Amino acid sequence: MTAAPTPIIPTLPRPALTTDRLIGRTVDLEKLDLDRHAAGLWEAIGRHASLWDHIPGGPFAEPEVFTQWLRDRIPRPGQTIYAVMDKTGMDKTGDEPEPTPAGVLILLNANPDMGTVEMGLVYGARLSRRVTGTEGVFLLLDYALGQSGYRRMEWRCGPPNLASIKAAQRYGFTHEGLLRQTLWMKDRNWDTNVFSILDAEWPARRQRLAAWLAPENFTDDGSQIKALGEF
Q: What's the confidence (pLDDT) of residue 89? A: 81
- 78 domain residue, yes or no: yes
- 227 domain residue, yes or no: no
Global confidence as pTM: 0.93
- 113 domain residue, yes or no: yes
Helical (H) or strand (E) element with 21: strand 21-23
Helical (H) or strand (E) element with 162: helix 162-171
DSSP designation for 84: E
CATH number for the domain spanning 59: value is 3.40.630.30
- 2 domain residue, yes or no: no
Domains in the chain, number: 1
Q: Which residues contact 46 (CB under 8 A, 6 or more apart)?
A: 58, 60, 63, 66
Q: What's the confidence (pLDDT) of residue 56? A: 85
- 1 domain residue, yes or no: no
User: Cα–chain-centroid distance for residue 13?
Assistant: 23
* Angstrom distance (rounded) from CA 144 to CA 68: 27
In 10 A of CB 77, how many CB atoms? 6
Helical (H) or strand (E) element with 103: strand 100-111
- 15 domain residue, yes or no: no
* CA-based nearest residue to 23, from 153, 109, 135, 162: 135
* Angstrom distance (rounded) from CA 88 to CA 213: 14
Q: What's the confidence (pLDDT) of residue 93? A: 54
Domain that holds residue 160: 21-213
Q: What's the confidence (pLDDT) of residue 128? A: 94
* Residue 216 DSSP SS3: helix
Q: What's the confidence (pLDDT) of residue 7? A: 82
Q: What's the confidence (pLDDT) of residue 94? A: 55
Question: For each successive 10 residues of the chain (231 residues), what is the average pLDDT?
Answer: 78 97 97 98 96 91 97 96 91 68 98 98 95 97 98 97 96 98 92 98 97 95 91 90
- 229 domain residue, yes or no: no
Do residues 16 and 110 make contact, with C-beta atoms less than 8 angstroms apart?
yes
Q: What's the confidence (pLDDT) of residue 3? A: 72
- 71 domain residue, yes or no: yes
